[in-house]
Every structure is written in C-alpha cells, then in structure tokens.
Amino acid sequence: MQRKNGFTLIELMVTIAVLAVIVMIAVPNMMPMVYKKQLETTAIELAQTLAKARGTAISLRKDITLEFDDLPSAGNHLYWVPRYEQVHIISKDAPEGLMFSPVGLAKERATSLKRKVPNPDFDPNKNEDPLENPKFIIEWQPTKDLVFEVCHEKVNEIKSITIFKSGVISNIVSRELAGSCP
C-alpha cells in the first residue's frame, strides 16, 4: 500500500485548536497596545484638524469655527469628532470647540476677539469724530492658551495639545491620567 503525502483531518484539527489557544492567550495582551494606538491616532488627527482650521482662517481671512460635533463641514464651520467611541476630548476652556481669527489667533467659540466699549477719553462737548474724538473704541480681549486633552477609557494616559496665545499649536504631550476618562 502506498502512502499519500498530506495531512489527515485530525492533524489539521489539532493544529487549528493549538493556534486558537495561542490566539486566545495573545489577544488580551495585545488590546492595551491597540487602545494606546487609538489614543495616539486621535490626538494626531485632532492636532491636524486644529492646524487645518487655523490655516483655513488665515488663507480665507475670515473667522473659522471648529466644533466637536458629528456634522458635515460647511462654509466657515468645521466639525470634528473622534472616530473611536472610547476616546474623548476634554477641554475646560472650549468644550464645544473654538474659533480661529483671520490672523490665526485661537479663541473660545462663544467669544469674539474684539468688542466696542465706551471711550473713557470721549469729550461730549466736541463733535464725535472716529479719529479724533471717538465715542466708542475697540477693545481687544486677551487671549489665553487653550488646552485640549484626549483620553481613552481603557488607557491610563492622556495626550495634551496646547494652542498658544499666538494660535500656534504645540506638540502632543503625554502624561498619566489623573482620575477617569469621561
């Protein structure tokens, strides 16, 4: 009797069972790496979206808002949300989003960069003149650094992105998560 080369059904089933056991052992150890990569990817995407919004504001020379909502971007409103459900954006100063001015300065979305206020030097005995005796003057509101933090529910790490007063977006900084990710 001549023996044919090949594997029997039992040999294949034992091999598949051994591979299944190896996969079951390896997968739980791989998940923290997957979650860290999701966190890192989201932080990079947020930084790129912030840079895109700032660049659009500067190039179009108009206010551009960036809101954290799942809507299609249109006109001078850009929208963005993380693509992973377990990843969250935390920002105490601009929880809904922010606005970039035509010169690239970042502000909380709900406020504006300038406002008209009564001129303390206005002389009511003289005629109002926009150059010599203005009744109202423009007051620029001070800007401050805005910090956006990205956290993952399953990772004890947080990624921070700072937008400086000048509108420049910082590098992504990692630190340990204090507390829990919402």
- DSSP per position, 44-112: HHHHHHHHHHHHHHHHHTS-EEEE-SSS--BTTEEE---SSTTEEEE-SS-SSEEEE-TTS-EEETTS-
Alpha-carbon distance of 39 to 150, in angstroms, equals: 7
Q: How far apart are CA 173 and CA 149, in angstroms?
A: 9
Does some domain include residue 22?
no
Query: Which is it for the CA torsion 45, 50, 53, 56, positive or negative?
Result: negative
DSSP 94-106: -SSEEEE-TTS-E
Please give the residue that has the higher pLDDT: either 29 or 120: 120
**105 domain residue, yes or no:** yes
- Helices marked H in 61-108: none
Q: What is the pLDDT of residues 69-103, one digit of tens each?
A: 888 988 889 999 999 999 998 887 777 888 899 99
The answer to the question of residue 70 being in a domain is yes
Query: Would you say residue 63 lies in a domain?
Result: yes
pLDDT on residue 112? 41
Predicted confidence band at 13 (pLDDT cuts at 50, 70, 90)?
very high
Looking up residue 123, the CATH number of its domain turns out to be 3.55.40.10
What is the extent of the structural domain holding 153? 30-176
**Strand ranges of the sheet holding 146-152, from the earlier edge strand across to the other edge:** 87-90, 146-152, 157-163, 173-176
| CB-CB contact of 36 with 49 (8 Å) | no
Q: Give the count of domains, the chain.
A: 1
